[in-house]
Each structure stands twice: as structure tokens, then as C-alpha cells.
Chains A and B, each alone.
Chain A
Amino acid sequence: DGGITQSPKYLFRKEGQNVTLSCEQNLNHDAMYWYRQDPGQGLRLIYYSQIVNDFQKGDIAEGYSVSREKKESFPLTVTSAQKNPTAFYLCASSIEGQGNGYTFGSGTRLTVV
């Protein structure tokens, strides 16, 4: 079955450490997205990519970086510059240009210890 897979499900980061969250999809979707969700709040866009080797900053890109070397993969690195990284991170994908809904991965819950 096609889908979008995020790993790990839970991640603990020490202060000052970079961590990378994985997102892989086999839906053949062109567009991929990273969102952050804080408790009791809506989703905020971090980065998105509409095509391989291209990506755009979202509303809260500071302290994050991404790459899109393959259509299937869109990893997110949370750098030490992100001062408040504890959150629920959601990756999504969609078919470019057709106004369809997103398909989400099951999320990664990141906690700073």
C-alpha cells in the first residue's frame, strides 16, 4: 500500500544537538511539506518542496533545514539554532497542482532533554 512514513516516532534531543527527522513517501507525489504542531495549536509550515532539488521556506523556517535529493524523501534537520524545538512534527505530501488534500505521515514527537 502507498503511504508516507515518518521516523522515528519519538525522538529526544540534547541541548545544542542537531537531529534529522525522516520522511519517505511512495505515493509518487511531487510536493512534500513539513509542519510543526504545538500543544493545543494549529499546524505551522516549516518548509515545502514542489519538485526535486528545490524547496521553499515556510512561515517558521528559522532553525530548520531540509533537502530534496529524491522525489520520495524530504528529511528535516532541526538544528541547534532552533531554540524551542519540542513539538509534534508532521510531514505531508500531495499531488502538485491538482488541489487535492494532503496525505500526512504519522508524525515525530521531538522532545529536548
Chain B
Amino acid sequence: RKEVEQDPGPFNVPEGATVAFNCTYSNSASQSFFWYRQDCRKEPKLLMSVYSSGNEDGRFTAQLNRASQYISLLIRDSKLSDSATYLCVVNEYYGQNFVFGPGTRLSVLP
């Protein structure tokens, strides 16, 4: 079983739609969690950290369920500019390397 798994894509949604991505991780001792966004042929960029209490940043909401070992990202009112690959990232121990999921590609269509 892979350490970090994500919804297989791609997701093709119309502008204005709400879309949700899920991510599961295998190590119950994992400490910190992130969503990154990667545009085509560019480096990944931090979208948001994921906290146990859940957190929201504008149209983006991230949630963590430690008991079930999954993380979610919800995007409301999708924009064309949201088209990208979304990477789920898990840090198993503070100070150690991060484990990246394979990514889920989102295309927002006009």
C-alpha cells in the first residue's frame, strides 16, 4: 500500500462548481499535513496547511480526520485559475522528509 494516496483524476468541472479532493495516509503517527498546488511544468507551491480543527482560506477548506487517516480539500466557486494538480503532503516526523501523494489534476472549464 502506498504511503499517501489521492483520488485518481482528472476532475473536469465547470466554473462555479464545488469540488472536493480526498487523500489517505498510512502512517498513523504522521504529524503535519499540507495541500500543495502544482501548475503544469512548474514547482509545487504551498496552498495551505491542514490543522486538526480544520481550516479555511477564502474558497478553500481543508479538513483532517486522524481517526480515519484522511485529509480533504474543498474548493468552492471554482475559477479557471484553479486548474492545476493538487498534491497531498504528509510529514511523518517533525524534521524528517515529507511524503507526497501522486496528485489529483483539476481542470475548470468555462
Contact = CB atoms under 8 A, between A and B. Distances in A.
A64 interface: no
B31 A42 contact: no
B97 A42 contact: no
Chain A interface bracket (under 10, 10 to 19, 20 to 34, 35 or more): 20 to 34
Contacts of A100: 32
A88 to B, nearest CB: 8
Contact of A97 (B49, B89, B95): B95
Contacts of A107: 42-43
A112 interface: no
Contact of B97 (A33, A97, A98, A104): A33
B44 A104 contact: yes
B49 A101 contact: yes
B34 interface: yes
Contact of B43 (A33, A58, A98, A106): A106
A76 interface: no
A90 B87 CA distance: 15
A106 B97 contact: no
A48 to B, nearest CB: 5
Interface of A: 31, 33, 35, 41-43, 45, 48, 50, 58, 88, 90, 96-107, 109
